[in-house]
Amino acid sequence: MTDSTQPVEPPPVDASPVEPPPVDASPGEIPPVDASPGEIPPVDALIVVDVQAAFVTGGGAVPDADRLVDRTTELIARARRAGALVVHLQNDGPPGSEDEPHTPGWELHHRVEPGPRELVIRKPEDDGFRRTPLGRVLADAGVRAVAVCGVMSEMCVRATARTALERDYRVVVPYDAHATQDAPAVPGVAEAVPAAVVSRVAAYSLGSDAEVTVPAAGVAFTAPGKAPTAPGKA
């Protein structure tokens, strides 16, 4: 696997958080639980997990993919304006898979603006930290808090967020900015589970240390090194 990262430069001293827009929950969307209308402290990095053509376009797209893309687009734009670090994770699927490298489905959906604060990291496994330079990139940038969005909720999003928690980052997983497929029925074992339910359970399985009831519109950004750490952690 090739390392497509670029060096991360120190943030300018005058970077400041960007005010989040008002929440605009759509009809039919599962509402947040215990969500506060007040602002949460800003994060200094955005990790966009596997928002690739195979998963958000065509017949293999996650349910309500257009809304997911709207949310991730919004997050990326606000992270850029605030000078936060933006990392696009790109999954390298096995031969014959819908996200096999250098096939149409493997391509990132969002346009990338390469530079010291935005980069692409290819990954061979669910966890964006495993066998990639993501951990070094975040550490070198002085990142303290991350927002994680993308697909799939119970696989790559959860695995990446879980490792970020274990590495003592403050972790925000906006409830309306990650998605997955329906869990199919297993005859004689279980009925089908709607994708929205799978996503919610995946997020809550991260435990109380992760912030999972915040909408994308409630996530604020700042430059690396300026975000608060996780509660109780230096």
Query: Which amino acids are annotated catalytic?
Result: 156
Query: Is the alpha carbon torsion for 143, 144, 145, 148 positive or negative?
Result: positive
